Structure formats: structure tokens, C-alpha cells
């Protein structure tokens, strides 16, 4: 799957309408709408409170302590893309900072998801350029070894293909395969509508035990109430 | 100690006056007033800045990746309770989100402490429903296996009995056994009063070395000053 | 290197002008200006958002779960110092809280860097007393065993000599040896000036590939573009 | 629950016959026979391959970096006891080595379970004195602060009462409350007998799908086979 | 990519000759021969010293704390297969023990790679049934929720397709895509032959500096020798 | 302290007699004899059971994922040296394997201590070339960026100067500054002699409480015995 030393210039992005349709939903909702698949491991965290993004993936495969491929990726970015970077090994160096953020924003990028470290977090907060990373680290990187751009990449245990939709917020990062974007957006909308009704009933004091009809199954499994 | 498949409906809560007496104090102060016992491991963290709670424990024993017992617990919650959930194993899935928070709040709960993951943290911040958890994770949970409610539970290495007082703030989570609540509140008040005097002396430039009479003991142990 | 039971009263601090010259720069910039040396491991984090410090090191060698030497260090603090504390072992207890912060501030300290835990973080935020620590932990400490003050100390894998400059912000903590302070400040200024020009070019849409002349070296290593 | 500065001299140990009845079974079997309760967190590991123990708990509550209470505990040990030590905080110092092992063995102890570090592991292997710990660490400890002996203690998230049975092997550590020892031994024996039959059937190539009658429930939940 | 509730019965396995060709090589050699791709994260470790395996992947997607799909997978195993199991979330429960090992061996399996916990490690060592896991844990699992078998799965950050070759030894686990197996085996053989020559020269005292011609490039980058 | 791009050819090694004097003692004993200083963090572990070393340090400062400087260091190795390698950042790649071990052994090296990963552990065990590392990892490294050789280096939080004595065994790694080697060996010998006497008394059933005269101090601090 992975390839080194390759940049794919032509990728098929999910169409903008489907991205826009996914955009209002939280990661938790999208993940449920996906059938509970596609979630990155929870060690990927926003570098500042309020960071949120939704866009099409330009993927990057990095080498440890080396951010060369992020510069290569910048050229492949179009309006509405999210750069999504994995690494051939665990590396928490600061691959990314505000200069690269300035470059990516100028190219139209929505933000970055990286299985590595990030620096300049105060500047990124000020710019409101959302980054989701595994670490914050002032340690800079070299430019010495080839990785790849726009190949399938595993990032924090999730497979990302170029052009997939990536949604990230305070709860984590989820990847929606291009082919499923429209369907997942519709399922997310249905789920959110259903939740609104439930929310009202919970607010009124109704119990999940009743709302979800749990009392029977619990009794059947032998749940015992004692005084 | 632990039991599975049991819900105790009748628990003896610390009386409200004792909870109110503990409520103004920080976790650090309560922990000192307890004689430095009852603290959860520090991996339990608030999911948003400013989260704080003090209330009587409704305890829950969860199974990994399964939040069924939180719904069972909701029915046992009374005004002023805190839901305190341990797990039979280490699990960072998102057991809890804003729907359950809505339900718990409708029942009068003050908040949640959970040795597991939590999601919807933006919504929880907006609701100001305090949650202290070991992880933030969009991954939802199933409802398939029995745990228990209102049995003694170990949460982040601290034993919690139903009805105990639980205090949580930015510094962590401490458990005050029901029988000691009044005594600990009194000790906390005394400690805080004593600290106020010390604070003033520190502010005026007095050293801990003098304020605490440390110079003698340090010299006795052989502390050597060199130029 | 390390010594136990010793307090050095006379240390040679970097002169104030050099500290002031370093003060405007971020940790990332100083670290680059140092030639990428002197960075602490990234597990040392600010205890509140916005914490930042720059000052001369008063070093402390702590014993696990014992903060006695912080009181000893307070007496050695002068205006503009930063207390920098390592520990003979990994310990995440709450060695430091607002009373000690009050004392250190009264002595003129700029803040604290500690390879251990810290408590009272709400109060520290209110005081705006910057602390960089490996953990937040309400667990207090004893005063029973000798460490040292103003000896060379390794803190989060970085060597700190008394009098060195320590700079800390959201990205981490860097140590500038006293002898290099002026030179590093000058290099940081040059670097920042150079970055300003780059920032403008990135903002205008120029690529790092062109700005840094990367296309040749990448091609030479065999980077392949495919459609 | 926890108390500091207390040594209980009289504890009720599970009778030897019940300990002997539990002794042949593995931790996994005992844990299943307990109804899947009482397991310590899996970070507690044997310090050498082949370590195994089963005995009655003499409990210890340690302070970080301080092994004083292990010496106090030695006096309370009787033939067939296991010393089980928790700590008021996370501490990986080397609380225990071969001298203390020599002392405990002379008193009749079966071994040690400790939520802390251990040293002299080569010597312990040679002595075949089984230790289960969270770390191996040459760092010694002081004798300065009081803990307790034979109070209820939480060790690696499991509650241990003095006199409980503790079983440990390559898979981990499980605690059997004194009152349940005989019953659990009987259940373990039944379970092992049942497993023998299953083992034979598995060996003969029968599938768990058939042996456990899983095909129906799987189909009901919608498991789909495709070619 | 991932699907839940699906079992693919027909997968295309790498032919036996290619597996046999890969089998003599170490994971390090295969990984190099792959161009340094396909390695699992190093937290996957053998559960006993000397464990080693090479075979074709039958993939499994597990749910946390639930080993149902391992029983479903057993039916899909053929002589020479390795069961390779990922999980929808991080879970260190003991999904696998000697009964399942007996079943898998009866079906012809070579061993197991699992991004989860394993128990009965003493028995597995005795059986010499190689398991590579992220944890050892006596905690058993339930059979309640559907996962999948023989779908593409990400395991410890590596993508595994059913039928790929999986090689594991003391150094870790590497995945060779089916289509590349023969080519990688050939490259591994060439690499090993080349290493033999180098080994002899190193043994004779020749330096890597000379053997690899490093002196020029090092000097060019400015490496300075001082006395 | 750290410098990049420098190789010091002339270092002052502790004389052989002092190394030989230290050689019989365990890390725990040497660490005690040092006054409990100089210990590396306990995450550095032997890669095989029985690994042990004692020699004079040739120090290396590595860059992440880059083992170039180990080849540079090989040339500086003399009979009886130990290569001791730190890294400018946390990196668990496999910097070292059996080819480099063959080279180092040919140069007379006793072994390796590395704050990074190691591979070929089966071969290293067979060669009995002792390595102490923070990880085992098949991932190879590049040769692209300069570090240094024989500069002072911090390794796993311990400062190592070229020529210092490094002792490593199953309990960890300790660094003895060159100037203190003879004195520490003498202290270790005294300590071991004293321990022999204690061992006999412990074996005979005497308690540490009596042997160390602890009963008085414990009573003074208020330790209470209850029945």
C-alpha cells in the first residue's frame, strides 16, 4: 500500500457538496453515522481549544524528524483540503509551525492532522489554523529523506486515502471514505434529528431505561435490584 | 467487594450540610485535611477548564466499551449526587456524552467522574456539566453486559463507597468517606485559615525556612552552604 | 556532577541585558538559534494557557515526594530568576502550589520549571505565576530528605547549570547556557527577521519548494510525480 | 478506608486448606471463577519468568520512595503469607531487593506484590523469590514517613484486605476475598474440568462456533458470510 | 475500508512457495527488503522468548473486550495461516488463551498477531504457539458484538489485507502485501547475502566509515575532529 | 554543553584498574555507593536476559531515526569501552543491530547503552553482545544528519562524560564520573561487605526493625500497633 518517493498529482476529491453536507456534524455523530468505523486513535488532540475542521484529504507519509514532504504536499493542496500526515514510525518532533501554516492557508487548506508533533501553537491559535497532533514540541525537523504525497496512509491507526473527507473536533478525528460521504452525511442528519427528540425527553426527566426499552433486556440478563 | 449484576437502591448519603461544608474547599485542601488519603490517580482530568464538582457518590461498575450501567445509574441519582464510575478493565472509549449529561442533570446530578473516556466535550462545556475522565474519545459504546450500581467501586485506584463525598477540581479528584465528611470539612476550614496567615507572611517576603523552622533540621541532616 | 546536601549561594547569572535580549523570542526560535540543542523533553507542559517565562536558573535537585529543597531554593532566588527543579527519580507528586508561588514571587522569581507535579493550578492561573511541569497532582509532599540547590541538574533530559537562561512557552522549555546567551539572542533576532520575509512570501502563495530551492534535491533523490 | 500510621497485628487469614485449594489454579482460571472480579491492572508483571505465588495477604501502604513499612510488615508475616503493597502515589523506585527478600523468606513469606519498583532481580531469580511489580529500578528508597500495615489497601486498582488470598502468575495478579476463597476454589476446579473437555474437542478440530452454539446468535445479529 | 458484520470466506492467499521463500528471513531483513514499509508499531511484542511466525493473514476486526470474531475466524483458517487481529479501539483485555490456541492449531494456524491482550502465556510457551500482542492480561472477554473476518484491517498502524504475508519475530511484526511477496523474498535474499560480506569485513575490524564510504559525505557536512 | 558536528578523538578514560574494581558490583550497589546519584531512568532495559556490562564511555549524540554517528563512534572505540548514546529527541527506531555489534566488538567494545531502539535482539543474544535500550524495533535508520561523538551527553536523564564508567545489569544503568571511580569502587566493596553480615542476620530471622534500630524512630513518629 504505502509507497515512498511518490507524489500523486491527480486525486479524486469528494465533491464539495458532500463535504459541506458533513461539515455541520460533530466527529461523534459522523463516527456513529459511519457505523462506528474510521476513527483515529484518541491520542490525536487539537493543539488549541475550539479547533475544528472538515475537508478533503491530501495525504502525506513522513519520515521521523523530517518534514520535507509537507512542503511537497503544499503544492498539491486545493481550496478545502486538509493535510493528513502519517509517519513511518512514532515521532513527536515539531514537524509543523506557523510558517507552514501560512503557506498551507495561502493554498486554501482547512487545517492539518498529523501523527507527529507541532510547534508555534500560540501563533496557530492566533491564526485560527486548526491542527490536530499527537504532541506539542518545539523541536524542529530536517529535510533529508523522501516520503510520499497522496498515497494511502495509515494515520493514528486509521486508513486515509487521498480525497477522503476528514472531520476533526474536540472529540477526535474521523475519516469518511470518499465513496461513502453522501450516505454518511444523510445518516448523520437522521441521527441528529433523532437525538433532538431524545434530548427533549431526557431533559424532561425521562430515563434512558424507559426511552430505550432497556428494562426487559436487563432483567433477562439477571440484573437484580436490592434495597 | 465488587459485585456484578446488582443495583442497590438504598444508599446512605452524607447529609447535605456536610457536603455543603466541604464544597468551598479545593481538592488539595480536602486531601490534606483527610490526612493525605483518598486521592484518585492524577490521570483523571477535567474535560474542560473550570470544571468543578462536590457531591455524594452514586457508584457504577462498568464493563469495557459498554455504558449500559450509566443508564441504570441515572435512575438512582438524586439532587446533589455525583456519578462515579470505575471499569473492570482499562477502557478509554467514550462512555458518556451530552445526551446522558442531559439525563443526569434532569435527575439532579452535579457531574461525573469516570475511569474511562468521554465525548461531546464542547457540548459539556456549553452545558457546564463537569466531567472528570481519563480520556476524550468519540468512540461510542454498546449496551450488552451487566455491571453494577451502588456497590463499592475502585476508581483510578481510590475506593469509593456509595454515599461518599467526591470533590473534583483542576487538581484532581478526592473521595471523602461518608463517616469522615464533617470532620474533614472542619479540618479543611482550619487548614485554610492557617494558610491565610502563611500566605500573608510569604507575600511579605518571609521564607518557608523561617516560617516553618526548617533551618535546624536541615543543618542537623548535614545541609551545607557553600559560596 | 550531581551532589546531594549542598546549597551554592554564589552563582554567576547571565547578565540582565542578555536575558532581556532573549526574552521576546519563542522557545522554537531560541531552540533553532541554539543550533537545536538544549530542549527539554516535551512532557513538560505549562499548567495554564498563556504561561510564559524567561529568566536565570536557580537549580534544585529534589527527592521523590519531597519538596524541602524548594524552600531552601527560595532563599537563593533573586529578581528575574526562574526556579528549575529536577528529581532523582520520576515523581509526579504535587511538589508546588500557590503558597510556594507566593513566596517565590515575593523573592522576585519569574516562575518555575519542574520535572514533577504541581497543584493549585487555578490559583496559579489567577496569580499568573507561570509553572511548567510534568503533571498536575493534588498530592502533597513531605520534607524529610536532602537534595541540593544551585548544582548542575538534569531536568527532563536537559542539563541546567545555575545561572543559565531558561525560556518556556506553550511549545516547551529551552535552556541557554550562560556563555552563549548573547550570541543566541543575536541569532534568534536574525532568524526572526529572516522568517518575516519568508512569512510574507508564503502568504503570497509562494511554495516552500521554490522558496527553499527544494525541487533539485528532491529530484536528485528520486522523488517521482505521477498523475 | 486507608489509614496512616497503623499496624494491625491480628488479622483473619483464610484457612490454609482454602489457600491450598486455590493454589493449583492459574490467575486466569481464578479470575473467571470469581465472576471476573478482583484482577489487578496488567501493569503489574513478574520480575522473572516462571514467578508464581499463592498465599494470604499481609497488606502494606507505602509512601513514595520510602520502604520503611516493608520492614514493619516483615514482623507481621507468617508462613504462607504474601506481602501486598500499594502506594499513596505512583512511584517506581526500587522499594524491594534481595536483603528484604531474605528477611521475608526467613519469616515464611511466599513472595511480594508491589505497586512500585523492585531491584536485585537477578538475585531474586536465583533465590526463586517471586516478586510482581510495576517496574524494575535500581533506585533505593528512604525510611522517613509512616504508612500502614494490615489495613485495606488498593493495589493496582484492586482492593486487598489483610488475610485475602492473592494468586499471581505470568498472566497477572488476582485477589480472592477471604470469605469467598473456598467457593472460588470449587468454581475454579469445575471450570478447569469443563475446559479439559473443551480442550479435547478443540484439539480434534471442532470449532468454538459449534462447541459454544454461536452460529444462531451470530446470524441473529446479522453476521453475513460472503464469498 | 473496514466493514462490520462481514465474513469473507474466499480470500486469495499468497502461494505457499512465496511464503516459504520469506520464511527464513528476520523481520528486520524483510522490512528493509520492503523498502522500509509495512512494519507494525513496536508495542506489539512476543508473549514468550523465541516466538516466531511466518504465514498468510486471516484478518479479524475485534470489538473491545469481545473475542467473538476469533471463533468466527477459526473456521476460515487453513494450514499455514496466521490470525491477525485489530480492534476498533485500544483494548488490552485477554482476548486469547490456550483453548483458542488449541483450536487454531487444530485448524493449521501458525500463530496470532493481536492489537490487544493475551493470557495463558505459560501454556502458550509450553505449546510453542507463537502470539504477538500489545499486552498480557488475565482478563477474559465477552461474546456480544459483531466485528468482521477477512476484511482489510489496520493492526498497530499497519494495513493488513487478507492473504498478505505476516512475519514476526523478536524484533516486531511486518506485513508483506500479497502482490509483493515473491519480489520481497528475492530482495531479502540479496540483502542477506550482501550483509554476510559486510559482517566478515566488520569482524576483521574494518570500519563502517570506510566500508560505506562515509568519510567524504561527513566531511562535506562539516563534521569536525578535534583532539 | 551539547555540541553538534564534533568528534573528540582524545578522551581521558578512567584507568583500567578502577574499572576492574567496579566491575564485580551490581548497579544497585554502585548506585548506593555513589550516594544515590547517576542512575539512568528505568525505561532503559537489557534487550536480553543476562546482559551485563562495565566499561568506559565513548559518548554519542544521535539525531532521530539516524545512526550515522554510531559508525563515527566505532572508530573512537578502544578495548574496554562502552558506547553510550543519547538522542536530541525521543526516538525508538532501531539504530543498532548485529552488524554494528560485530563492528563494535571487533574494536573492543563491551556493549551499548542507547536512549533509542535496537533490533536483531536474537542475534545479539547469540553473540552475547549486551545492549541496554529504550525499545526493540525492527525499523532501520538513515545516515543524513550530523550529531557528535565524545561530547558530554544526557542519556535517559543522566549526564555522561566521555571516559566515565558505565555499569549496567538487569536493574538498570548507572554512570560513575571518572574522578569518582576509585572512591566509588571502594565504597561499593564496603557496602557489599556490610550487606553480607546483614544477609546472614536476616536469614536467621532477625527483623530489619531490630537490625536497623527502627522501633524507636517509628514510635516517635506515632506508629501505632493495634490488635
Query: What does the pLDDT look like over A77-99, one tens digit per residue?
Result: 999 999 999 999 999 999 999 99
- CB nearest to D145's CB, from C88, C90, C142: C142
Is E10 near chain D, with CB under 8 Å?
yes
Is D203 near chain B, with CB under 8 Å?
no
- Burial class from Cβ neighbours inside 10 Å (0-12, 13-18, 19+) for residue C189 reads middle
Predicted confidence band of residue A3 (pLDDT cuts 50, 70, 90): confident
- Burial class from Cβ neighbours inside 10 Å (0-12, 13-18, 19+) for residue B227 reads exposed
How far is residue F19's CA from residue F13's CA, in Å, rounded to a whole number?
Answer: 10
Q: Which residues of chain B are within 8 Å of residue A26 when distances are taken between CB atoms?
A: 120, 122, 138
The residues near F213 (Cβ < 8 Å, ≥ 6 apart) are: none
Residue C15 burial (CB count, 10 A): 13
- CB nearest to B140's CB, from A32, A198, A205: A32
- Is C209 inside a domain boundary? no
Q: How far is F42 from chain D (nearest CA, A)?
A: 6
How far is residue E58's CA from residue E10's CA, in Å, rounded to a whole number?
Answer: 11
The C-alpha cell 470466506 sits at: E9
Is D2 near chain F, with CB under 8 Å?
no
Q: Flag whether pLDDT at F106 surpasses 80.
A: yes
Long-range Cβ contacts of C185-189 (<8 Å, 24+ apart): C185/C18, C185/C21, C185/C22, C185/C25, C185/C33, C186/C21, C187/C33, C187/C34, C188/C22, C188/C25, C188/C29, C188/C30, C188/C32, C188/C33, C189/C21, C189/C25
Residue E84 · residue E166 · CB < 8 Å: yes
- CB nearest to C226's CB, from A6, A99, A139: A6
- Burial class from Cβ neighbours inside 10 Å (0-12, 13-18, 19+) for residue D204 reads exposed
Q: Residue D58 is inside which H or E element, if any?
A: strand D53-62
In Å, how far from its chain's centre is CA E18? 16
The pLDDT, as a whole number, for residue F1 is 45
- Is C149 inside a domain boundary? yes
- Is D4 inside a domain boundary? no
Q: Which residues of chain C are within 8 Å of residue B205 when distances are taken between CB atoms?
A: 106-107
- CB nearest to A154's CB, from E36, E88, E157: E157
Q: Determine the average pLDDT of the residues in A145-161.
A: 98
Report the residue of chain B nearest D5, measured CA to CA: B35
How far is residue B120's CA from residue A27's CA, in Å, rounded to a whole number?
Answer: 9
How far is residue A73's CA from residue A9's CA, in Å, rounded to a whole number?
Answer: 10
C90·D89 Cβ contact <8 A: no
The pLDDT, as a whole number, for residue B8 is 98
Q: How far is F129 from chain E (nearest CA, A)?
A: 13
Would you list the DSSP string of F76-133? H--TTEEEEEEESS-B-SEEE-HHHHHHHHHHT--EEEEEEEE--HHHHHHHT--EEE
Strands E81-87, E53-62: pairing is parallel
Q: Flag whether pLDDT at F113 surpasses 50.
A: yes
The pLDDT, as a whole number, for residue E193 is 94
Q: Determine the average pLDDT of the residues in C201-216.
A: 97
F154·C154 Cβ contact <8 A: yes
Q: Which residues of chain F are within 8 Å of residue E158 when distances are taken between CB atoms?
A: none
From the list E122, E135, E120, the residue with the least C-alpha distance to E65 is: E135
Grid coordinates representing B91 are 477502557
Q: How many CA atoms lie within 13 Å of E72's alpha carbon, on the beta-carbon side?
A: 32
- Is F113 inside a domain boundary? yes
Residue C210 burial (CB count, 10 A): 12
Rounded to two decimals, what is the model's pTM? 0.97
Grid coordinates representing E62 are 475485534
Q: Is the ipTM of this complex over 0.90?
A: yes
Per the document, the length of chain F is: 227
Chains with at least 3 CB pairs less than 8 angstroms from chain D? B, C, E, F
Residue B216 burial (CB count, 10 A): 8
Q: Using alpha carbons only, how large is chain C's radius of gyration in Å?
A: 20
Q: B221: which DSSP letter?
A: T
Q: Flag whether pLDDT at F2 surpasses 80.
A: no
Q: Flag whether pLDDT at F3 surpasses 90.
A: no
- CB nearest to E37's CB, from A4, A36, A159: A4
Q: Flag whether pLDDT at C2 surpasses 80.
A: no
The pLDDT, as a whole number, for residue D184 is 97
- CB nearest to A157's CB, from E35, E37, E154: E154
N- to C-terminal Cα separation, chain B: 59
Q: Using alpha carbons only, how large is chain D's radius of gyration in Å?
A: 20
The residues near E217 (Cβ < 8 Å, ≥ 6 apart) are: none
Report the residue of chain C nearest A70, measured CA to CA: C208
Please state whether at least 3 CB pairs lie below 8 Å between chains C and B.
yes
The pLDDT, as a whole number, for residue A92 is 98
Residue D163 burial (CB count, 10 A): 20
Q: pLDDT, tens digit, for every residue of B140-178?
A: 999 999 999 999 999 999 999 999 999 999 999 999 999
Q: Which residues pair with C159 in a beta bridge?
A: C154
- Is C127 inside a domain boundary? yes
Predicted confidence band of residue E108 (pLDDT cuts 50, 70, 90): very high
Q: How far is C5 from chain B (nearest CA, A)?
A: 5
D142·C142 Cβ contact <8 A: no
Q: How far is E10 from chain D (nearest CA, A)?
A: 5
How far is residue B54's CA from residue B46's CA, in Å, rounded to a whole number?
Answer: 13
The C-alpha angle with vertex B125 and arms to B124 and B129, in degrees rounded to 5, equals 55
Predicted confidence band of residue E88 (pLDDT cuts 50, 70, 90): very high
Residue F127 · residue F101 · CB < 8 Å: yes
The pLDDT, as a whole number, for residue E2 is 53
Q: pLDDT, tens digit, for every residue of A103-147?
A: 999 999 999 999 999 999 999 999 999 999 999 999 999 999 999
- Is A210 inside a domain boundary? no
Q: Which residues of chain E are within 8 Å of residue A86 when distances are taken between CB atoms?
A: 157
What whole-number percentage of chain C has pLDDT above 90? 99
Predicted confidence band of residue C40 (pLDDT cuts 50, 70, 90): very high
Q: Which residues pair with C149 in a beta bridge?
A: C7, C60
The pLDDT, as a whole number, for residue B1 is 44
For position D52, which CATH number holds?
3.50.30.40
When the pLDDT of each residue in chain A is averaged and rounded to a whole number, the result is 97
Residue A187 · residue A37 · CB < 8 Å: no
Is B122 near chain C, with CB under 8 Å?
no
- Is B94 inside a domain boundary? yes
Predicted confidence band of residue E14 (pLDDT cuts 50, 70, 90): very high
Q: pLDDT, tens digit, for every residue of D141-199?
A: 999 999 999 999 999 999 999 999 999 999 999 999 999 999 999 999 999 999 999 99
From the list D194, D159, D170, D214, the residue with the least C-alpha distance to D33 is: D194
Is D1 near chain E, with CB under 8 Å?
no
- CB nearest to B42's CB, from C107, C136, C143: C136
Q: Determine the average pLDDT of the residues in F85-90.
A: 98
From the list A58, A62, A42, A43, the residue with the least C-alpha distance to A165 is: A58
Is A92 near chain F, with CB under 8 Å?
yes
D142·C145 Cβ contact <8 A: yes
- The phi, psi pair for C119, rounded to 5°, reads -130, 180
Is D143 near chain B, with CB under 8 Å?
no
Q: How far is E158 from chain F (nearest CA, A)?
A: 13
From the list D223, D88, D63, the residue with the least C-alpha distance to D142 is: D63
Residue C66 · residue C90 · CB < 8 Å: no
Report the residue of chain E nearest B141, measured CA to CA: E64
Q: Which residues in chain D come in under a pLDDT of 50? A: 1
E159·A154 Cβ contact <8 A: yes
Measure Cα distances from A101 to A128, A151, B36, E187 in Å. 10, 22, 47, 40
Q: pLDDT, tens digit, for every residue of C75-125?
A: 999 999 999 999 999 999 999 999 999 999 999 999 999 999 999 999 999
- Residue A71's domain comprises 16-185
Residue B207 · residue C75 · CB < 8 Å: yes
- Is C171 inside a domain boundary? yes
Q: Determine the average pLDDT of the residues in E119-138.
A: 98
- As for how many domains chain D has, the answer is 1
F142·A144 Cβ contact <8 A: yes
Amino acid at each position: 500500500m504505502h509507497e515512498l518517493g511518490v507524489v500523486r498529482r491527480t486525486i479524486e476529491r469528494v465533491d464539495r457538496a458532500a463535504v459541506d453536507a458533513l461539515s455541520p456534524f460533530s466527529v461523534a455523530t459522523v463516527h456513529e453515522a459511519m457505523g462506528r468505523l474510521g476513527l483515529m486513535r484518541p491520542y490525536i488532540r487539537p493543539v488549541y481549544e475550539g479547533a475544528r475542521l472538515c475537508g478533503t484529504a491530501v495525504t502525506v507519509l513522513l519520515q521521523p524528524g523530517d518534514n520535507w514532504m509537507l512542503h511537497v504536499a503544499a503544492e498539491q493542496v486545493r481550496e478545502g483540503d486538509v493535510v493528513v500526515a502519517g509517519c513511518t514510525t512514532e515521532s513527536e518532533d515539531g514537524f509543523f509551525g506557523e510558517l507552514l501554516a501560512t503557506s498551507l492557508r495561502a493554498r486554501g487548506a482547512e487545517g492539518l492532522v498529523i501523527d507527529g508533533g507541532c510547534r508555534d501553537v500560540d501563533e496557530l491559535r492566533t491564526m485560527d489554523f486548526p491542527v490536530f497532533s499527537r504532541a506539542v514540541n518545539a523541536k524542529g525537523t530536517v529535510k533529508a529523506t523522501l516520503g510520499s504525497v497522496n498515497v494511502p496512509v495509515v494515520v493514528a491507526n486509521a486508513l486515509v486515502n487521498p480525497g477522503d473527507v476528514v472531520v476533526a473536533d474536540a472529540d477526535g478525528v474521523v475519516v469518511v471514505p470518499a465513496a461513502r460521504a453522501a450516505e454518511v452525511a444523510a445518516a448523520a442528519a437522521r441521527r441528529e434529528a433523532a437525538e433532538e427528540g431524545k434530548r427533549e425527553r431526557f431533559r424532561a426527566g425521562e430515563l434512558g431505561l424507559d426511552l430505550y426499552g432497556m428494562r426487559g433486556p436487563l432483567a433477562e440478563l439477571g440484573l437484580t435490584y436490592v434495597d
